[in-house]
């Protein structure tokens, strides 16, 4: 079983994300969606799995959606669409109590500023 599995994860920022999601699924690009709807596509159709003991790196240019993706993995940001499984438990629909348990026992995050050295 995968420790973490992500299926078709998507995050759209704005007041009408479902309008933008429909456009994305029909093949309209991010820039055109922003122009037409005012919605910003943060992450679209991201899928991967991480096995126990595996080292997995999320790497990309500034503004490419890395932080948004990581914040969705522990539900600091709720995804617009898609599924996230932590040790087989689908977490996008968990209530706050169950989510706290998952965060305490199964998944965690260290913010970048904590690990940076002062210059």
Q: For the residues 25-46, what does the mean pLDDT come to?
A: 96
pLDDT for residue 114: 62
pLDDT for residue 109: 75
Integer Cα distance of 40 and 118 in angstroms: 33
Residue 116 banded pLDDT, cuts 50, 70, 90:
low
**For the chain, which domains are there?**
4-115 (3.40.50.300)
Is the CA virtual torsion 110, 63, 52, 73 positive or negative?
positive
């Amino acid at each position: 079983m995968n420790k973490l599995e992500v299926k078709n994860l998507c995050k759209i920022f704005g007041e009408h994300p479902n309008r933008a999601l429909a456009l994305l699924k029909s093949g309209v690009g991010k820039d055109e969606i922003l122009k037409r709807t005012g919605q910003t596509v943060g992450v679209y159709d991201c899928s991967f799995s991480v096995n126990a003991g595996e080292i997995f790196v999320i790497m990309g240019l500034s503004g490419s959606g890395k932080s948004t993706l990581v914040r969705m993995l522990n539900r600091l940001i709720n995804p617009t669409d898609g599924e996230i499984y932590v040790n087989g438990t689908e977490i996008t629909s968990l209530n706050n109590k169950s989510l706290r348990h998952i965060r305490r026992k199964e998944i965690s995050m260290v913010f970048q500023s904590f690990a940076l050295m002062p210059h």
